[in-house]
Chains A and B, each alone.
Chain A
Amino acid sequence: MSPQPFRTPAGGLIDRAKPFGFSFDGRRLEGYEGDTLASALLANGVRLVGRSFKYHRPRGILSAGSEEPNALVELRSGARREPNTRATTAELFDGLEAASQNRWPSLDFDLLSVNSLFGSALAAGFYYKTFMWPAAFWERVYEPLIRRAAGLGRAAVAADPDHYEKAFAFCDVLVIGGGPAGLSAALSAGRAGARVILCDEDFALGGRLLSDRRMIGGRPAADWLAATLAELESMPDMRLMRRSTVFGVYDHGVYGVVERVSDHLPTPPPFQPRQRSWRITAKRAILAAGAIERPVVFAGNDTPGVMLAGAVRSYVNRFGVLPGREAVLFTTGDDGWTTARDLADAGARVVAIVDARAEIDAGLRALAERIGARLVTGAVVESAHGGKALRGISVRNAAGHHVEMACDLLAVSNGWNPTLHLTSHQNTRPVWDATIAAFVPGAMPPGLVAAGSAAGRFRLEQALDGGARLGAEAAAECGHGRGAGTTDRTADDEGLPATPVWRVSGGSGRKRGKAFVDFQNDVTDFDIELSAREGFRAVEHLKRYTTLGMATDQGKTSNVSGLALMAEQTGKLIPDTGTTIFRPPYTPVAIGALGGHHRGRDFRPTRISPTHAWSERQGAVFIESGAWIRAQYYPQPGERDWLETVNREVLAVRAGVGVCDVSTLGKIDLQGRDVGVFLDRVYCNTWSTLPIGKARYGLMLREDGFVMDDGTTSRLADDHYLMTTTTANAGKVMQHLEFCHQVLWPELDVRMVSVSERWAQAAIAGPRSRDVLRGVVDGQHDISDDAFPYLAAREVTVGGGIPARLFRISFSGERAFELAVPSGFGDAMMQAIMASGRDYGITPYGLEALGVLRIEKGHVAGSELNGQTTARDLGLGKMMSSKKDYIGRLMATRPALVEAERPTLAGFRPVDASQRLRAGAHFLGLGQPASIENDEGHMTSTAYSPHLRSWIGLGRIRNGATRIGERVRAYDPVRNGDVVVEICNPVFFDPEGARLHG
């Protein structure tokens, strides 16, 4: 026997010189380049490819495209394992591993197919009815049971080793679909000079022309296709995107596209992603997505071997595969007859043609005679049987008699539904066209039009003409003229359209076997009857009650049949029954493709300080702080843990001098005549009185009265100020200031720009800080205590003329300076500070020590400025000016924000100094039970103070300022903390501030 027993001896668009080995459920098989997994399986005689979702029914391949509801498989293995992939679109490659899913223990012998026998228990609404009660049973019993029995495939457990990327493109005309209509549209738009992008989900362009034996201009359609593709490829502004699905239509001509860059390869080539998600912005778009053939609902219509007639032509003509050797055609129109012809020509025996119509064309009768097929008109297929592979059918003829026929393939042709999904992504609804018995696009998203079969114009000539016309119109709307060149668009005749048969009832009641409407979600005609009987007749109720159309295929092959059956039940017409609209994505899109590179550490950009390399050379341990990577502490050899290191750094600052990078602070440069007035309005304290050469601490409120941010702002010249913000709020404050200026007070003469990344900045803190700086700042600048006192701020030079800014400000409470130089000099500045400080034992300190120093001084930071605190809450109420208007002034006076009971800032020390404090602990009165009513506030920041030899904390507690000396519980059940603490002044160290002035 040949290795591919169902492969035709010749023909098709596969490359027989390139055999590919692949496996299915561990079985070694062979196919060719140009195959899909489905065509290769059929070539090998594999019919049974999966088990259904609910009943575990044996299922085969129904279609040859992305509408496939049955043939969902797992591809690849290990970390690359991908469930729920349609075998009909998976491109074969050498070494492909595929496995069936949703079966246990094996595909051939599935224990859970007993679900099928208890079908009535699993009918429509079974979730709602069965699992309503008792609630606890749901979690413990039902859900695990359902998870085991149902579900679709298994996701990989390990992280995906491939990468994905995002891309953006712009064009005049986007053509969606590369069949005859789409190619015609691209051709005419391209000839007019438009920038065109054409996307098709298939790996080969041509659409139905790849599968149907058609003539264009008196020659085989393949010639037209080759000539058209050659011309398109030669156009400079034409991008042809194969393997690319347009999955969504968004506002203003934005289209979501996923390009399967490497899905057809064992692993992506170097530097190539697995998939790429595109956001394409198009001035005009033409939907030329074709149509989807519809099944007929009859008993056993899901038996492997029952297949859509158009799909059969795809397998025969495109892939050189006979999906069966003994075939019957069941058709309701002339279109299906070409399937019988092509099957016979390819060597299959066409046992019979069952045409539901009483009258058919004489030419068709002659065809039946030529291929030796028994012709039964006015007849329907009532049931198919065979279990795991089709063995025969029962036909009911015009006289009502049953005729049994043996066959291994039943091709079903019942007309086509336009692939109009994208037209409803903007909430516009399709409309019913009785002449073709199908929904066609109704109102459309702006800029989008439909051509060819997607518009319900199914004939090849209509596709070619409509595409060409709409392509030219779209180009003209984008400002391009008419293009040169003509094409003969006459096509061969294609007979009469289908007169659809939605359902073949008959048979013997419920015993006749299940007739499926929605194959993927196992919804039967009985379920729809039940839904109608129980009152769920509106389309949206029908969908939810039966799950019709709610599987991953969004009902591509089932929605219209489902509506037709509901119409039959309710005695209405289909358009009066309703329609459903579709949502993105058209076919499932991997989350990885949508995320692109934004995963793990690359979820957002990482920012590093201009002194980062210097810190690395000092052996710093780094920590993520918002988007920044900051030096946390600088361990020395022999230190046992981080706390020992941080204690050393803290003590060194207060005893001598330390240096710390503060480049991450937000810095906003403000210039103009009215900056002082502007600052008066955005800060709650007064600014117009700030002298040149001075810095001041500022507190900024939101308009609702809560604190927004704090920082120091310096006046460098009459009309030139420099604001600093907290690291975390830099962007938000900039946006706020732009709002205040542009929207609220555009009359003020103020200009501002963020200079956060232009300056590297270091804090030099400790009693010896001035001595260190003396060796860094150029000699002509006097930085003595008299000439440069606390809160001085001036432009200076360093290193022999490098511009710099020097501020005498202090977060640590020590005599301290901050020195800023242009970013590129950041590393040199740190080296110069270290060199100058060597004699004074200068110590680099990190974010942890910075935190300890500020908590010892009771300075508030991010944990206290959390968006829920007022200036009063933080003990800064006196900063709020009563003499001027500013953002937040009025709202801060609301009764709830000024009530005495509000938790306010205080310090906390454990009564037993050996006990550790934790931020997040809640305060309770001594002896009070831990309940919400007894909650008095919480600890916001804690640190170990080597000066006090104790843990210390800042927090907010009711009436904090009036309760100094009182003891409360700091209760932290999450970490088993329950510590008695004493409320104290939040300034733990040097409360008089004597050290500031040196």
Chain B
Amino acid sequence: MRIDCPHCGSRDVQEFIYLRDAGPRRPDGMAATLAEMHVYLHERDNPAGRHRELWYHGSGCRAWLVVTRDTRTHAVFAVEALPASVESAST
């Protein structure tokens, strides 16, 4: 599998580390509740198909990236650099 890092170009998946679904936003601040934090940490969809997810280019530029991938075929539709992609996702 290969990921087209916006900073480094097409690289082997061995250079990257997968973290999780890119969707959940951390409930920051002292007003956040345990219930909200539980949702943020544990509740995930498990889609068969398109999935926006966080990958870390640890053996490359060290950027966290948002990779849109088909979980059935591993087809990669988009690789976006942060933070722009997170901001755009939240609007």
Contacts and interface: CB of A to CB of B under 8 A. Distances in A.
A891 B38 CA distance: 8
B64 A279 contact: no
A894 B87 CA distance: 31
A743 B82 contact: yes
Given A703-B41, A742-B64, A743-B86, A252 B74 contact: yes
Contact of A735 (B17, B37, B75): B17
Interface in B42-91: 54, 56, 58, 62-64, 73-76, 82-83, 86-87
A151 interface: no
Nearest to B41: A703
A253 B2 contact: yes
A744 B26 contact: yes
A677 to B, nearest CB: 12
B8 to A, nearest CB: 15
B74 A251 contact: yes
Range, interface on chain A: 20 to 34
Given A279-B12, A738-B64, A743-B82, A885 B19 contact: no
A298 B41 CA distance: 63
A963 interface: no
Nearest to A883: B30
A885 B36 CA distance: 14
A446 B29 CA distance: 46
A281 B41 contact: no
B56 A738 contact: yes
Contacts of A742: 63-64, 82-83
A890 interface: yes
A426 B33 CA distance: 44
B67 to A, nearest CB: 12
Contact of A251 (B2, B63, B86): B2
Residue of B29, B33, B62, B76 with most chain A CB atoms under a 10 A cut-off: B62
Contact of A891 (B1, B19, B37): B37
Contacts of A426: 73
A704 interface: yes
Contacts of A731: 58
A250 interface: yes
Range, interface on chain B: 20 to 34
B53 to A, nearest CB: 12
A904 B82 CA distance: 41
Interface string A877-907: 0000000110000110110000000000000
B81 to A, nearest CB: 9
Given A252-B1, A253-B2, A279-B12, A885 B28 contact: yes
Contacts of A250: 1
Interface in A335-372: none
A386 interface: no
A890 B33 contact: yes
Contacts of B41: 703-704, 891
A251 B34 contact: no
A746 interface: yes
Interface string A716-751: 000000000000000100110011001111100000
B56 to A, nearest CB: 6
Interface string B8-41: 0000110001010000001011101110010001
Nearest to A743: B64
B30 A735 contact: no
Given A252-B1, A746-B86, A893 B17 contact: no
Nearest to B35: A890
B74 to A, nearest CB: 4
A254 B2 contact: yes
Residue of A279, A742, A746 with most chain B CB atoms under a 10 A cut-off: A742
A743 B12 CA distance: 22
A251 B1 contact: yes
B2 to A, nearest CB: 4
A279 B19 CA distance: 25
Given A704-B41, A891-B41, A885 B2 contact: no
B28 A746 contact: no
Given A251-B74, A893-B34, A735 B58 contact: yes
Contacts of B17: 735
Contacts of B12: 254, 279, 281
Contacts of A890: 32-34, 37
Nearest to B42: A704
Contacts of B13: 251
A252 B2 contact: yes
Residue of A251, A738, A743, A744 with most chain B CB atoms under a 10 A cut-off: A743
Residue of A253, A745, A885 with most chain B CB atoms under a 10 A cut-off: A885
Nearest to B64: A742
Contact of A739 (B1, B2, B19, B75): B19
Contacts of A735: 17, 56, 58
Contacts of A734: 62
A893 B33 CA distance: 11
A561 B34 CA distance: 62
A890 B32 CA distance: 8
A735 B63 CA distance: 9
Contacts of B73: 426
A249 to B, nearest CB: 12
B76 A252 contact: yes
Residue of A253, A704, A746 with most chain B CB atoms under a 10 A cut-off: A746
Contacts of B37: 703, 890-891
A754 to B, nearest CB: 9
B15 to A, nearest CB: 12
A884 B32 CA distance: 12
Contact of A884 (B30, B62, B75): B30
Contacts of B76: 252
Given A252-B74, A252-B76, A739 B30 contact: no
A885 B74 contact: no
A559 to B, nearest CB: 25
Contacts of A893: 34
Contacts of A891: 34, 37, 41
Contacts of A746: 82-83, 86-87
B82 A894 contact: no
Interface string A14-37: 000000000000000000000000
Nearest to B37: A890
A92 to B, nearest CB: 38
A279 to B, nearest CB: 7
Contacts of B29: 885
A893 B38 CA distance: 12
Contacts of B82: 742-743, 746
A735 B54 CA distance: 12
A446 B70 CA distance: 14
A885 B32 contact: yes
B58 A254 contact: no
A140 B7 CA distance: 60
A743 B37 CA distance: 16
Contacts of B34: 890-891, 893-894
Residue of B33, B64, B76, B82 with most chain A CB atoms under a 10 A cut-off: B64
Interface in A78-105: none
B3 to A, nearest CB: 9
Residue of B19, B33, B75, B82 with most chain A CB atoms under a 10 A cut-off: B82
A888 to B, nearest CB: 10
Interface of B: 1-2, 12-13, 17, 19, 26, 28-30, 32-34, 37, 41, 54, 56, 58, 62-64, 73-76, 82-83, 86-87
27 contacts: A250-B1, A251-B1, A251-B74, A252-B74, A252-B76, A254-B2, A254-B12, A279-B12, A281-B2, A731-B58, A735-B56, A738-B64, A739-B19, A739-B54, A742-B63, A743-B54, A743-B82, A743-B83, A743-B86, A744-B26, A746-B82, A884-B30, A885-B28, A885-B30, A885-B32, A890-B33, A890-B37
Given A885-B32, A890-B34, A891-B37, 4 more contacts: A252-B1, A252-B76, A734-B62, A743-B83
Leading 3 A-B pairs by shortest Cβ distance: A746-B83, A251-B1, A252-B2
